[in-house]
A and B are shown apart, each in its own frame.
Chain A
Amino acid sequence: MSVTVEERKAANKALIDEVLKAYPEKMAKRRAKHLGTFEDGKPDCGVKSNIKSLPGVMTIRGCAYAGSKGVVWGPIKDMIHISHGPVGCGQYSWAARRNYYIGTTGIDTFVTMQFTSDFQEKDIVFGGDKKLDKIIDEIQALFPLNKGISIQSECPIGLIGDDIEAVSKKKSAQYEGHTIVPVRCEGFRGVSQSLGHHLANDAIRDWVFDKADPDKRPDFVSTPYDVAIIGDYNIGGDAWSSRILLEEIGLRVIAQWSGDGSIAELENTPKAKLNVLHCYRSMNYISRHMEEKYGIPWVEYNFFGPTMIEKSLREIASHFDDTIKANAEKVIAKYRPLVDAVNAKFRPRLQDKTVMLFVGGLRPRHVIGAYEDLGMNVVGTGYEFGHNDDYQRTTHYVKDGTLIYDDVTGYEFEKFVEQIQPDLVGSGIKEKYVFQKMGVPFRQMHSWDYSGPYHGYDGYAIFARDMDMAISSPVWGLAKAPWKKNA
């Protein structure tokens, strides 16, 4: 029994109205602006975004510290990132994100370690600058191979008036120009992780780019095929399964921002010929800056699923010469048998299955192509911290009648899934067990549920396997107690 688009739109509207009844009236009016159904032909999804969450509704969002330390700076492997403030923030974000890297941890790389100033009451009262000064000395003594230090501010830093910029400048001079970056990513800033990304990008601009010596590495020789991968955090190895394709078409990937990224790569990125941007939301800021200041063009690309990969490889190749363009065609042809084999294996079981997504700032639209390559339909999607330009871009991915929910609350998401009964929900760890206990198959779309990579052709095979594994698992048929069946 298939539902027409008009029927679905009407059902969505009724569902939204029903869900809003639970809120106090004033709050219902505000939430109503974030919920809607996509209408084909409209320039955006018709929902408000990137504004304050309502108090007490169980928003899924995080804070600016998460966006800065967790997303942008944390993956930079040869720098030490100090969680400056009380111990909690650093603790909960300690090795929680699967931004993979290669190195000798504790010696030349530090990603999976937790460095904090462990603020106590006396630091709040008397200020933490002196402690920070000493911390930098201790880091230099114990971790001499670190290539830089970043100071990721937590809430109290901005509230007590500490001057981390002064400490950074002083210590950097003391250690002969060692890169020390203060980042004002206090959690209370902004409305979500998003401002944290922006602050982090600005800190790279101000304290890495502007202070870098352009002749520092004379042995770095540019080529006309140099590109930088911007906005890929190497979750489960995503950046590597992307890099391999770009290099197969003949490009030279000189930097990865920031999964498995080193500070040298960041410093050399202004020498790139083209910046290829995957996560638009978190790194459009630095891409725009590099275009403005260094004249480097940037292009958004999508390596989720063969349709998008092909489109992206051709788009990227179009910025280079005929050799690269021809190579792109060769690579696409080379991987076609793999794609066909994956589709033949998994599409039969996944055809026409429905999916509801809720992820961060890119994947709610970006993965839709991969699902459609497997014959699946995304019937609902939304962003934790997307802006209006993300919702505009989403119109090119979602079908007419798709349910759209911005900054969805725990209550709303549960009610939507209960009513719509998708075959799969894709969201985060906080949602996983809620929906699995409701009997709905679930895959984490932040951490890839400890799987991955999902980018590129190699990643598509893994993605297909995982979606099939989740939906086709015989366990769902066993969720109902035997005495409740056939009642």
Chain B
Amino acid sequence: MPQSADKILDHELLFREPEYQEIFRTKKENFEFNHPDEQIKQIVEWTKSEDYRQKNFARDSLTVNPAKACQPLGAVYVANGFHKTLSFVHGSQGCVAYYRSHFSRHFKEPTSCVSSSMTEDAAVFGGMNNMIDGLANAYNLYKPEMIAVSTTCMAEVIGDDLDAFIKNSKQKGSVPEDYDVPFAHPQALLGRQGRDYNAARARAR
């Protein structure tokens, strides 16, 4: 039996035991219908060849294992460097989950960041209410001294105007009028032009 209470093996060594090696063998043989081992070896060799190298460098559309991330991550990173500043990312909430996880894994520290949690209806009607409610909630719950706002793809592509939304939010009392809410559109180009281009493309279709 591979496991015992005296010497507990976890994934590092457990699967090297013969019982597991056997089930791996039968799984591969009977159910995976993979290419033959010979062919796999052949391709391994080919990836070391000049032909592969040329094809790889000729790539202009596919990106593989890039060494970069997206712009709002940088905005969150900057905001985290300021004392008692909460970063607020206007757009889909998945992005914030990812930024927080990414930084927490890297620094092994808690990473605070909030999202305006825009969903499908906000994609159609715009995210102003999300901004108004979001700023109010973040301000009341976490009591930061400053909230730094940036956007995700979704908010950028639909053309949400952070300046206007923040002004509206202050008017509605989400945060005090003189409270600092600096903002940046990570892809400022898209803010204005994007909407017009998309509308034109949609009409052309």
B140 partner residues in chain A, CB cutoff 8 A = 22-24
Q: Mark A60-97, 1 if CB is under 8 A from B, else 0.
A: 11111110000000000010001001111101111010
A window 328-360: CB within 8 A of B: 334, 338, 341-342, 344-345
Other A-B pairs beyond A61-B94, A138-B62, A142-B56, 4, CB < 8 Å: A59-B115, A63-B97, A453-B14, A462-B14
* B28 beta carbon closer than 8 Å to chain A: yes
Q: Does B59 contact A (CB under 8 A)?
A: yes
Q: Please, which residues of chain B bring their CB within 8 A of the CB of A361?
A: none
Is there an interface contact between A56 and B14, defined as CB atoms closer than 8 Å?
no
Indicate which residue in A93, A255, A409 contacts B31 across the interface (CB closer than 8 Å).
A255
Write the chain A residue with the least CB distance to B63: A118
With an 8 Å Cβ cutoff, the count of chain A residues facing the other chain is 113
Q: List, in ascending order, chain B residues with CB within 8 A of A190's CB.
A: 119-120
Interchain CA distance A30-B87 in the complex, whole Å: 24
| B23 contacts chain A at the CB level, 8 A cutoff | yes
Bound-complex Cα distance A193 to B5 (A) = 37
Knowing A145-B39, A187-B94, A190-B119, say if A161 contacts B202 (CB, 8 Å).
yes
**A451 — which chain B residues lie within 8 A by C-beta?**
10-11
- With A24-B137, A338-B5 known to touch, is A92 a contact of B101 (CB < 8 Å)? yes
A228, closest chain B residue (CB) = B31
A113 touches B (CB below 8 Å): yes
B44, B62, B97, B123 pick with most chain A CB within 10 angstroms: B62
Min CB distance, A44 to chain B, in Å? Answer: 24
Per CB-CB distance, the 4 closest pairs between chain A and chain B, nearest first, are A63-B94, A88-B70, A56-B134, A55-B134
Interface contact B122-A108, CB-CB below 8 Å: no
Question: What number of B residues sit within 8 Å (CB to CB) of A?
Answer: 100
Chain B residue numbers with a CB within 8 Å of A61 are 93-94, 97
CB distance from A14 to the nearest CB of B (A): 19
User: A452 an interface residue at 8 Å Cβ cutoff?
Assistant: yes
Q: Quick check: B95 and A63 within 8 Å, CB to CB?
A: yes
Cβ contacts A to B, 8 pairs, < 8 Å: A56-B138, A114-B65, A131-B61, A156-B153, A262-B32, A430-B97, A433-B110, A461-B5
Chain A residues near B125: list those with CB within 8 A. Answer: none
Q: A141-B55, A189-B120 are in contact. Are A58 and B94 (CB under 8 A)?
A: no
Q: Are A161 and B205 in contact (CB under 8 A)?
A: yes
Contact with B along A138-170 (1 / 0, CB 8 A): 110110110000000011101111000000000
Q: Does B150 contact A (CB under 8 A)?
A: no
Find out whether the CB atom of B43 lies under 8 angstroms from the CB atom of A430. no
Binding site for A on B (CB under 8 A): 1-6, 8-11, 14-15, 19-20, 23-24, 27-28, 30-35, 39-40, 43-44, 47, 52, 55-56, 59-66, 68-70, 72-73, 88, 91-95, 97-102, 104-105, 108-120, 122-123, 130-131, 133-138, 140-142, 152-154, 157-158, 187, 189-190, 193-194, 197-198, 201-202, 205
Task: Report the Cα distance A89→B152, complex, angstroms.
Answer: 11
- In Å, the complex CA distance between A193 and B136 comes to 25
Contact between chains at A124 and B190 (CB < 8 Å) = yes
- Contact for B94 among A62, A342, A457, CB less than 8 A: A62
Instruction: Name which residue of chain A comes closest to B136, CB basis.
Output: A24
In the bound complex, how far is the Cα of B18 from the Cα of A77, in angstroms? 23
Taking a contact as CB atoms under 8 Å apart, the answer to whether A59 and B141 are in contact is no
Q: B187 to nearest A CB, angstroms?
A: 6
- Determine which of A24, A104, A461 lies in contact with B8 in the assembled complex, contact meaning CB atoms within 8 Å: A461
Q: Does A293 contact B (CB under 8 A)?
A: no
Given A92-B101, A131-B61, also A264-B32 (CB < 8 A): yes
- Using A244-B23, A247-B23, A262-B33 as known contacts, say yes or no to A187 and B154 having CB atoms under 8 A apart: yes
B122 / chain A contacts, CB cutoff of 8 Å: 188
Which B residues are CB-close (under 8 A) to A52? Answer: 117, 119
Q: Which residues of B contact A23 (CB under 8 A)?
A: 137, 140-141
Are B61 and A135 in contact, with the CB atoms below 8 A? Answer: yes
Contact present for A62 and B11 (CB under 8 Å) = no
CA separation between A220 and B140, bound complex, in Å? 61
Interface pick from A1-9, A235-243, A303-311, A417-425? A235-243
Question: Is A85's CB under 8 angstroms from B5's CB?
Answer: no
Q: Which residues of B contact A458 (CB under 8 A)?
A: 2-3, 9, 14
Asked if residues A121 and B101 are in contact (CB atoms below 8 Å), the reply is no
Is A268 interfacial (CB-CB < 8 Å)?
Answer: yes
Task: Quote the shortest CB–CB distance from A190 to chain B (angstroms).
Answer: 7
Shortest distance in angstroms between B108's beta carbon and chain A's nearest beta carbon? Answer: 6
Tell whether A410 is near chain B: CB-to-CB under 8 Å. Answer: yes
Instruction: Please indicate the chain B residues that have their CB under 8 angstroms from the CB of A452 in the complex.
Output: 10-11
Residues on the B chain within 8 Å of A220, using CB: 33
Scan A450-486; emit 1 where CB is below 8 A from any B CB, else 0: 0111000110011001000000000000000000000
Given A59-B93, A63-B93, A188-B120: A91 touches B142 (CB 8 Å cut-off)? no
Whether B44 pairs with A236 at a CB distance below 8 angstroms is no
Any B CB within 8 A of the CB of A106: yes
| Bound Cα distance from A457 to B80, whole angstroms | 43
Residues in B neighbouring A53, C-beta threshold 8 A: 93, 117
Contact flag A108-B59 (CB < 8 Å), given A86-B153, A434-B110: no
B63, A87: Cβ atoms under 8 Å?
Answer: yes
Are B47 and A107 neighbours in the complex by a CB distance under 8 Å? yes
Chain A residues whose CB sits within 8 angstroms of the CB of B123 once the complex forms: 158-159, 188
